[in-house]
A and B are shown apart, each in its own frame.
Chain A
Amino acid sequence: MTSTPGGAAAGTATTAGARAHARDQHGRVAPHMRHVPPERAPRIPGQEGPLPGPLTWAETVAPGGYTTAALARGTRLGLTDPAGDACAHLLLHRAGATQERLSVADTVKVPWQAYPTTGHPLLSGFGRVLATVVADTAEGHHDALTGTSTAAGNNARYGASAPFSTTPAGRELLLMGALKHDLTVRDLPPSVSFFQGVRVDAAGRLGFLGSAGPGRSVELLTHLDTLVLIANTAHPLDPRAEFSCSPLEIRAWRAEADLAALAAGELLGELGPEHLAAIANTDSDLLARGVR
C-alpha cells in the first residue's frame, strides 16, 4: 500500500504536514507483513479452528522475502504454504551463543535419515537439538541436502539475485537476516528448506520432488532459545524457467508442555535413542546454566 493517504492532502512541505502524512499510514494492512501484535493476524484459510495458544509471532513473508525472530524454548513454529510455491529456507542459531547453530550434516547423520519429516530432530553441531519437526502435512517434501540459492546461481539463471530484486537468492536473504543480529557470512552454515523436496536415487543423483501442493504446513518445536532466519525464495533445483515463489505464512505459539510430552513419547510416539540423547544433552546444558 503506497498510495497517498487521503487525509494528508495538505501536503508534506511543512513539519506538521509531513507528520500527518506519516501518521496517517499507521494501522494499514499489507499483503506481506509481520502482524504486531500477533493476535491481529488474519486466520490462515483451512486453519480456522481454535488457536492452540496465544500467538507469539505471526507474519506473511513475501515471495522473495526474508524474516528473522528470536523464539523462546518451548515454542511451536508453524510454517504454511497456502499457494503451493513457498520454500522456507531455514537457519537456526542458539540465541546468545550463536556459534552453536544448525548442522545439516549432524541433522541427517545422527538420526540415520536424510529426509526430514515428523519426528526429525534439527541438531546443532554441539550434540543438542535446536528444534524437532512435530507436524508435517507436506509429506516430507523438504530438503536438508542441497541448501539454498546463491547470488552466482540466481545471477546466471535469472539475471538478478539481490534482496528486493524480483529473483533474490536465499543466501543473500539469509545474510540480510544474519546481519541484523551482528552475524556475518562466517555464521551462515548450510540451511534446510521446507515445502520443496529433493530425493537421491541409487546412483546418488539428485531429483527435484517439488511441492506437495497448496495448503500444506509443517511445525517445529524449539528446544532452546533460538534465532530463526527464514528466506522464502525459489528452490535452486526448481526446474521452471520462471522464478516461482508464493507467500509463506508463519504462526508461532508457546507450547512448553509439548517438550515433556515429546521426550516422554506421548507426542509423536517413541523417539530414537539419538534423539533422546540430544534432548538429554540439551536439558543437561540448561540445567547447568541454571535455566531450568
Chain B
Amino acid sequence: MTASMEQLPSTAPALVPGEVLLDQLVAARAPWSAVVAAGDVLTIVDLAGNQAVDCLLYAARDTAVRYSAPETVRRQGGILLTTGSVLRADTGEALMTVVDDEVGAHDTLGGACSKESNSLRYGHHTEHQHSCKENFLREGARHGLTARDLAPNINWFMNVPVDPDGALGIVDGLSAPGKRVAVRADVDTLVLVSNCPQINNPCNAFDPTPVRMVVTRPEPGATA
C-alpha cells in the first residue's frame, strides 16, 4: 500500500454489485496494483473525466502469461475495447472480460508514455516529467516484474482513432466525470495500473486526475 492510495468507505459505485473487497483511490499520476481473483470484478471510475488509465494484466500464477494487445484485438476483430471484449494473454488465454462499460470505446494501440518516447513526441525538455513506464517498472518490481515483462498496454478511457490513411493519434477523450468500466477476472489476474501522468497529452485533458478502483465479488448466480 503506497501513500498515494486512500481507503474509502465501502459505498463505491461499482458497476457490478456484490461484496466490496477493495475500494481505493489512485492519485493523479500514481501507480496501483492488485490481484483480482477469478470471478471478481474490478470497476474503474473516471472520477473527473478524460483520464487515461494505463493497464497491464498478468496471470497471477505465471507472470510470463501477460496481456497481449494483438491477440486481444485480432480475436475480437477490432481495436476498441468495450462490453464483451475478452482481454487475452499472448497464449490466447482469457485473463479478464469487460462486463460493463459506460464509455463505449477504450484504446489498445497507444501503449504507455515513457520519458524516452516523450522525448520523441514532445521534445527533450519533457524527459524529466512523470511517465507511465516509470510507474509500471516501480509498481511491477513489487511483484518481481522487470522491463522484460512490459508490453503494449490497455488505456482505459483513452481515445485513439485510426483515420483511413492510417493516421493515428491520441485525441480528446470520450469519457466524462464518473464514467465507469467493469472487468471480470477470468483467472486470478495481477492488474498493474498507471494513472497516466502525462501533462502533454489530451488523454487526460493535460491535467491528470484521480481514479477509483473498486473490486467486488458478485453474489452467486449474478450475471457478471
Contacts and interface: CB of A to CB of B under 8 A. Distances in A.
Given A113-B168, A206-B74, A145 B109 contact: yes
A136 B114 CA distance: 30
Given A151-B91, A204-B105, A190 B68 contact: yes
Contacts of A104: 69-70, 111, 152
A106 B133 CA distance: 12
A106 B119 CA distance: 12
A147 B78 contact: no
Nearest to B80: A204
B62 to A, nearest CB: 10
Interface in B111-139: 111-112, 114-121, 123-124, 133
B80 to A, nearest CB: 4
B84 interface: no
B119 A105 contact: no
B91 A152 contact: yes
B70 A145 contact: yes
Contact of A205 (B64, B78, B168, B169): B78
A171 interface: yes
Contact of B133 (A125, A145, A153, A187): A125
Interface residues of A, number: 48
Contact of B148 (A147, A150, A186): A186
Given A109-B117, A152-B93, A204-B80, A147 B111 contact: no
Contacts of B188: none
A92 B48 CA distance: 40
A176 to B, nearest CB: 15
Nearest to A100: B147
Contact of A106 (B92, B111, B147): B111
Q: Specify the main secondary structure of chain A where it touches its partner.
A: loop
Contacts of A145: 70, 73, 79, 109
A274 interface: yes
Interface string A188-216: 11110000000110111110000000000
Contacts of A128: 116
Contacts of B12: none
B119 A152 contact: no
Interface string B87-100: 00011110000000
B147 A190 contact: no
B74 A146 contact: yes
B151 interface: yes
Contacts of B73: 145-146, 206
Interface in A112-144: 112-115, 123, 125-128, 140
B38 interface: no
Given A105-B110, A112-B167, A200-B162, A190 B91 contact: no
Contact of A125 (B64, B92, B110, B114): B114
A145 B75 CA distance: 12
A236 B74 CA distance: 8
Contacts of A200: 78-79, 162
B166 interface: yes
B150 interface: yes
B149 interface: yes
Given A127-B114, A203-B78, 4 more contacts: A109-B160, A185-B64, A277-B123, A281-B119
25 contacts: A99-B148, A105-B111, A106-B111, A106-B114, A108-B109, A108-B110, A109-B121, A110-B117, A114-B168, A123-B120, A125-B133, A127-B114, A127-B115, A127-B120, A145-B79, A146-B74, A150-B92, A151-B91, A185-B90, A189-B152, A200-B162, A204-B79, A206-B74, A206-B78, A278-B120
Return the 8 tightest CB-CB contacts between A and B, nearest first. Answer: A105-B111, A147-B70, A127-B116, A152-B92, A115-B166, A105-B152, A204-B80, A146-B74
Interface of A: 99, 103-106, 108-110, 112-115, 123, 125-128, 140, 145-148, 150-153, 171, 184-191, 199-200, 202-206, 236-237, 274, 277-278, 281
Interface of B: 64, 68-71, 73-75, 77-80, 90-93, 105, 109-112, 114-121, 123-124, 133, 146-153, 160, 162, 164-170
